[in-house]
Structure 1
Amino acid sequence: MRIVVAITGASGAIYGKRLLEVLQQAGHETHVVVSAHGWEVLEHECAIGRKEIRELATVLHEVEHVGASIASGSFLTEAMVIAPCSMRTLGSIAAGIADNLVLRAADVMLKEGRKLVIVPRETPLSAIHLENMLRLARLGVRVLPACPGFYHRPESLNEVIDMMVGKICDSLGIEHQLFPRWQG
């Protein structure tokens, strides 16, 4: 699969990083774009920068380059994931604002009817946040809040992270063994 992955400035950059690791290991082509605040959060929370993300990405795009391949509907992609998705990014997508490459690529997914998965990471949520999520869900966006389950009894933070990344993979139709399935 050819998948666009965006990392924005919400806490939870580890979800985007881990998703890139999983997609790379599975042999998927990734087109990655990180917002300015996304780079700051990656550095603060994960102690990583451009070099590490470049090694995980098939192609790393600059957020200001709105003429990049992923800004066009004629560039075929199967899906886009924004993990984590800041409320600014979520609100901008809901309002149809596309003034950087993350937003333009998301706009392309919407207009082309392609799969868009967002992983909002904020708490508490205001009525504005909820209304924006509802608006996007009604447009077909898969809203996957960073709310991991614990039924698999994780023993480490990595297992909690893998639970969320596994749910993202489920939304994309990508097989994985990131967490044990509920057996009842």
Structure 2
Amino acid sequence: MANDEQREEEEVLESIYEADTCYKKLSETGHQYQFGDEGHGKSVLLQITWTPQYPHEAPEVSLNAFFNRHLLPKVKEKIIQELKQQAEENLGMAMTYTLFEWFRENQESLLVDQSDSISDSAPEVVLTGAIDELSLDNQPNRDEKPGKNQMTKAQKRKLYDRLDRGELPRGWNWVDVVKHLSQMGSKSQPGQSDS
């Protein structure tokens, strides 16, 4: 952390947003606030990162979180531009809380071009002629292994029925170790005497 002003503002933010689940402290200089419910078209996750000279220099404002993927580019641009303007007006003062609250008050006007539903505002992906050139035949070093023949349900059932007919009790071929060793007798090695 660069200075005492930042430390003091950090303590103030923690006391204000202590029980607020929408606020998240990312690091000593990074703070996030979620406006709106997840899955709603007009929900926004606003991230403010302090620069080393903050509050005498404007903080970095970001909407690049994955949470904001549904926002239209022009809406993101408008929000960032307006927040930067507010930051310039508040230079020299602790402004993170001020920026969060200013966005809360002006959220409707900033998101007027944004759709209420996420599916309507999601950017469209357009695929063009490149699909004609795709082929799986040209894969280098692809080892083709012959697959096993898959059995049908009837074939599996018939196989399992055969296994059940000649079922032997568990351990039918186990060797009794003690009995086996007693039958074998002890083999004495040369040079050893039985005592």
Greater RCO structure (CA 8 Å; 6+ sep): 1
TM-score range, shorter chain: under 0.3
Higher helix share: 1
Larger Rg over CA atoms: 2
Give TM-score, length-normalised by structure 1: 0.25
